[in-house]
Structure 1
Amino acid sequence: MKQWFLLYCKRSEQERAVLNLDRQGVECYYPQVMINKVVRGKRVQVEEPLFPSYMFVYFDPEEISYTTVRSTRGVADFIRQGRMPRPIRPELLYGLMLNENTPEQQVKLSTLPFVKGEKLVLESGQFKGIEAIYQEPDGEKRSFMLINLLGKQVTVSLDNKEIAKK
């Protein structure tokens, strides 16, 4: 039975991993967002992965082995719980897919009104209603949040307008 899993890819090799996994019959998904960025002195919109170096894959472990997927060029390893890769809840991914590249996901360049360690509640987007702890801005003015996702705390990057102070 096919299931979703989370892979960690080698730095900047998500495209290579997708190409090689597609050849093996593994469906791949990594959400991307459009952000405003200054490149060579000009402000441009570029598409970047929402979760750099992470990718969701959909396959049947009885047909394609974990070892085959893990050994694919561009892939570092599965995100695991114990020794076995942990399946991802499909509703989490379908929420990401539905909200990808909606106007709510577009990033505005603005100053961040949050302080490191401040508790927040996400107001919109695929993580609506989830409590988070603000960590720090990244170079593209997105906010890194420490959230309880997939049963443990992980860091994700979100648009400022999706956040409300608690």
Structure 2
Amino acid sequence: MNWYVVYTKPKWEKKVAEKLMQAGIECYCPLITQIKQWSDRKKKVEVPLFNSYVFVQLSENERNTVFTIPGVVRYLFWLGKPAIVRDEEINVIKKSLNASNIADVSVSSIQVGDRIKLDSGVFSNQDTIVQEISKTHYILVLESLGCVLKIKYK
């Protein structure tokens, strides 16, 4: 069985995960503890690592059963097909969140205009600016070298 990514209504991740478990559907909603500040107090709260996402493990023919759960909007798609997350990737998330030496975690996506540092390959440690993102490639500007880098992905 594959792990799929379900997109939920905003702030419904924990409720959807609870209802999925009650319905007998295996799911995973990674949570992190954050300190929230109100005007009169601070409090530790558990918030989802990925906003509006819950992972579900289902066979292909059972995929529509999640739509009986209130708060489920749709599946996340990648290149026209439902996004599939490998078991190893789910295990890495679980292992990382259980590590005791992690102080703060945040997840963000790369967007046009972002400045990033390449961490591998020929241009390792080079600062770049994201110029374009498409379904098949990224275009990065390497200002220090005066060139444009096109990275294709599968």
Please indicate the TM-score interval, normalised by the length of the shorter structure. Answer: 0.5 to 0.7
What is the SS of the residue equivalent to 1:18? Answer: helix
Q: 1:68 to 1:22 in 2, by over 3 A?
A: same
Trace 1:63-102 onto structure 2 (pairs within 5 A).
64=62, 66-102=63-99
TM-score, normalised by the number of residues in structure 1? 0.58
In structure 2, how many angstroms separate the alpha carbons of the residues matched to 1:16 and 1:152?
36
- Classify the secondary structure of the residue corresponding to 1:45: strand
Aligned partners of 1:25 and 1:85: how far apart in 2? 21
Counting only pairs closer than 5 Å after superposition, residues 108-119 of structure 1 correspond to structure 2 as 117-119=114-116
RMSD: 3.2
The Cα shift of 1:78 comes to 0.4
1:56 is aligned to 55
Q: How many residues align?
A: 119
TM score, norm. by length of structure 2? 0.62
Query: 1:37, 1:46 within 8 Å by CA — same for their partners in 2?
Result: yes
Q: CA deviation at 1:152?
A: 8.5
User: In the TM superposition, what is the alpha-carbon distance from 1:50 to its structure 2 partner?
Assistant: 0.8
- 1:17 deviates by 1.4
Structure number with larger C-alpha Rg: 2
- Aligned-partner residue type, residue 33 of structure 1: I
Query: How far apart are the structure 1 equivalents of 2:22 and 2:43?
Result: 33
**Post-superposition offset of 1:117:** 2.5
C-alpha contact (below 8 Å) 2:17/2:29 kept by paired residues: no
Aligned equivalents of 1:30, 1:69: Cα separation in 2: 14
Contact 2:32 2:49 in 1 (8 A): yes
Distance 1:95 1:121 in 2: 22
**Is 2:35 aligned against 1:36?**
yes
